[in-house]
Homo-oligomer: A and B are copies of this chain.
Amino acid sequence: MTQLTLKVEGMSCGHCVNSVEGALKQLGASAKVDLGNGSVTVDFDAARLSVDAIKTAIEDQGYDVV
**Which residues on B sit within 8 Å (CB–CB) of A10?**
13
Which A residues have a C-beta under 8 Å from some C-beta of B? 10, 12-16, 19, 62
Q: Report how far A62 CA is from B17 CA in the complex, Å.
A: 15
**Which residues on B sit within 8 Å (CB–CB) of A62?**
14
**Which residues on B sit within 8 Å (CB–CB) of A13?**
10, 12-13, 15-16
Q: How far is the CB of A19 from chain B (nearest CB, A)?
A: 7
Q: A19 — nearest CB in chain B belongs to which residue?
A: B15
Q: How far is the CB of A4 from chain B (nearest CB, A)?
A: 24
**Which residues on B sit within 8 Å (CB–CB) of A15?**
13, 15-16, 19
Q: Report how far A32 CA is from B61 CA in the complex, Å.
A: 23
